[in-house]
Amino acid sequence: MEHLFVSLGGKLRERWIQAFPGAAVTASVASIGKSTSGPRGIVWLDLSATPDAQRAAQVRDAVAFGRPVVVMAPTPGEAEAFRLLNEGARGYCHVGAAPEQLREIALVVEHGGFWMPPELMQRYLALSLRVVPPPMSPENELNELTSRELMVAEQVAHGASNREIAAALNITERTVKAHLSAIFEKLGVRDRVQLALAMNNIPTYTTVN
Amino acid sequence: MEHLFVSLGGKLRERWIQAFPGAAVTASVASIGKSTSGPRGIVWLDLSATPDAQRAAQVRDAVAFGRPVVVMAPTPGEAEAFRLLNEGARGYCHVGAAPEQLREIALVVEHGGFWMPPELMQRYLALSLRVVPPPMSPENELNELTSRELMVAEQVAHGASNREIAAALNITERTVKAHLSAIFEKLGVRDRVQLALAMNNIPTYTTVN
DNA sequence: CACCACACTGTCCAAAGGTACAATGTGCCT
DNA sequence: AGGCACATTGTACCTTTGGACAGTGTGGTG
């Protein structure tokens, strides 16, 4: 397994070699392609010298070579972690991670897992509740909607106008309005904006009246 | 490392023992606590005989024992995966996963990673982007907004009406409209519904015209 | 100073959204 | 058969939204 560290600074070179005795260190993402044809190990991307704005692109480029990429950030942050993992990185850790930690991460990533610091993982899971369809439980207000009402609600959730909904469902605009009134009542929302947000699990704080 | 499989059916018992020769199989979550005091291995939760409605609770209970939990589902699905991982599970796989796969997952989970099928992971990361503040990059359309416009946009993003925004910002409803017109233009959205969704990183598919 | 971006406001108007009152038809359950 | 939930549509009416045209004031910059 041939680990490749991409780093401009390279101050931590010794630490990396200590973690993976056979590891190579290079300065540019472009040279990932030039690696030997041996077993394709992890690409470790040191972003401490990369400006914020270019990090995503850098990760994307690295990922494009097809090897698993682990990002090492100088100041790991939640937002950045999620964005970079979304670019295709398989791991996200502190650039100063200890050798033992690096080996752990390597183990995880090599076996198809994802790795990020436990606090981030925790936060990540909590946040993602919002984007996941809630369980089909009885207390779910969506279950109060009839099938037709649900269709209308889903359209609104994607920003459709009454006219568009009518066209999509092959009914009159008047009927759309009828369904909408029922939906507002059942879900306790005021208008289509709040409905759209509610359908996407986004809370709305409205001043009473 | 003492692996514990919690399963009602237990048809796959042999497969599991094959994967982890020292593994134990039990029928109820409650018995997780009774395990020996040896090294605390992974709890594998077979949900194939558990009704949908009870799965989350089952996972929650299992997680409560403090040991890493991997969920094995009969028909793995995106929504369920996210919900159960949210309950604290560290892995999510098919109940019929091969022994080699199980060992891979174990390796990942034991080293602090978390595991789910690659397609799901991909989807998960994409969805999570919505709840994460987007990068402050130049290509971010939000940066085109003036400070006042941004305030209005944020209010809309939470479902406020023009009247409410006016009250909140201490300006006329007319001024709110002026800002809104500018916002629509700059962000390329049609109305406040699409703005609200855009502000929450939710894509809108609109029929042309 | 002239110019410009920005915040703010006014009036008018058209389109979209939403409600009230009301009716018709269908399918299911008692 | 009668009752009920649901889908559908009509007319009328009010509110909200959003755009057009237009103007004022402030602060910063060449």
Check whether B14 has a pLDDT greater than 90. Answer: no
Q: Coil, helix or strand for A57? A: helix
Residue B114 has a pLDDT of: 82
Residue B186: band (very low, low, confident or very high) from pLDDT cuts 50, 70, 90: very high
Reading the block at residue A131, the tokens are 């984007």
Q: What is the pLDDT of residue A167?
A: 96
Q: Mutating which of B114, B115, B139, B206 best tests the A interface, going by the most A Cβ atoms within 10 A? A: B114
Cα-based distances in Å from A94 to A33, A112, A124, B109: 25, 20, 17, 20
Q: Is the CB of A177 under 7 A from strand C?
A: yes
| C-alpha count within 13 angstroms, C-beta hemisphere, residue B127 | 21
CA distance A112 to chain B (A): 7
Amino acid B172: pLDDT: 96
Find chain A residues with C-beta within 8 A of B168's C-beta.
Answer: 207
Nearest alpha-carbon partner for B83 in B103, B108, B106, B63 = B63
Interior angle at CA A200, CA A53 and CA B158, nearest 5:
75
Give the strand pairing for A91-94 and A69-73.
parallel
pLDDT band at B13 (very low <50, low <70, confident <90, very high): confident
Q: Is B118 on the interface with A (CB under 8 A)?
A: yes
Residue B134's pLDDT is: 59
pLDDT the model gives residue A187: 94
Contact partners, residue B122, CB within 8 Å, separation at least 6: none
What's the average model confidence in pLDDT over B104-116? Answer: 86
pLDDT mean for each 10 residues of chain A (209 residues) = 82 87 85 65 89 84 87 86 84 90 89 84 69 54 85 96 96 97 95 95 68
Q: Using the CB atoms, write b or e for B45-63: b if 16+ within 10 Å.
A: bbbbebeeeebbebbbbbb
Between the alpha carbon of residue A145 and those of residues A96, A187, B142, the distances in Å are 52, 9, 35
Spatial distance between the Cα atoms of B159 and B193, rounded to a whole number of angstroms: 9
Mean pLDDT (chain B) is 84
Q: Of residues 178 to 197 in chain B, which lie within 7 A of strand D by their beta carbon?
A: 178, 180-181, 184, 191-193
Chain B residue with the nearest C-alpha to that of A81? B132
pLDDT computed for residue B65 by the predictor: 85
Stretch B83-87: mean pLDDT:
82
Mean pLDDT of B151-158: 96
The minimum CA-CA distance between B13 and chain A, rounded to whole Å, is 23
In this complex, the answer to whether residue A161 has its CB under 7 A from any atom of chain C, a nucleic strand, is: yes
B124 touches strand D (CB under 7 A): no
Alpha carbon separation from B202 to A158, B129, B130, B195 (Å, rounded): 8, 10, 7, 10
A181 touches strand C (CB under 7 A): yes
pTM: 0.65
Under an 8 A CB cutoff, do A127 and B126 touch? Answer: no
Interatomic separation, CA of residue B152 and C1' of nucleotide D26, rounded (Å): 21
CA(A85)–C1'(D26) in Å? 46
Report the half-sphere exposure of B161 (CA within 13 A, side-chain side). 10
Nearest nucleotide, C1' to the C-alpha of B160?
Answer: D16
Are the Cβ atoms of A159 and B135 closer than 8 angstroms? no
The burial class, CB within 10 Å (0-12 / 13-18 / 19+), for A207 is exposed
Q: Lowest mean pLDDT of A24-33, A200-209, B151-160, B199-208, name the range.
A: A200-209
Partners of A46 in the β-ladder: A72
Q: What is the pLDDT of residue A55?
A: 87
Determine phi and psi for B45, rounding to 5 degrees: -105, 110
Are the CB atoms for B135 and A53 separated by under 8 Å? yes
In single-letter form, the type of residue at position B45 comes to L
Q: Which residues contact A91 (CB under 8 A, 6 or more apart)?
A: A68, A69, A70, A71, A105, A108, A109, A114, A115, A116
**CA nearest A181: which of B164, A207, A173?**
A173
Q: Rounded to an integer, what is the distance from CA B155 to the centroid of its chain? A: 26
pLDDT tens digits along B29-38 = 787 776 655 5
The pLDDT of residue B146 is above 70: yes
Per-residue pLDDT at A1: 56
Q: Say if B74 is an interface residue toward chain A (CB within 8 Å).
A: no
Residue B24 binned pLDDT confidence (cut-offs 50, 70, 90): confident
Please check whether strand D approaches the CB of B155 to within 7 Å: no
**Whether A194 contacts chain B with CB within 8 A:** yes
Q: Which residues of A touch B107 (CB under 8 A)?
A: 107-108, 111, 113
Q: Region B82-110: what's the mean pLDDT?
A: 87
Banded model confidence at residue B209, pLDDT cuts 50, 70, 90 = very low
List all nucleotides in chain C with at least one atom under 7 A from a protein Cβ: 5-11, 16-20, 22
CA distance A202 to A181: 20
From chain B residues 8-67, the ones with a CB under 8 A of any chain A CB are 52-53, 56
Q: With beta carbons less than 8 A apart as the criterion, state whether B162 and B174 touch.
A: no
Residue A92 pLDDT = 92
User: In angstroms, rounded to a whole number, what is the distance separating the alpha carbons of residues A172 and A155?
Assistant: 15
The 8-class DSSP code of residue A115 comes to B
Q: How far is CA A174 from CA A154, A156, A157, A166, A180, in A?
A: 18, 15, 19, 8, 10
Q: Which of B67, B58, B59 is nearest to B4 (CA)?
A: B67
Three-state DSSP class for B43?
strand
The size of the A-B interface in CB pairs under 8 A is: 154
The position carrying tokens 């999510």 is B92
For residue B92, the chain A residue with the least C-alpha distance is A113
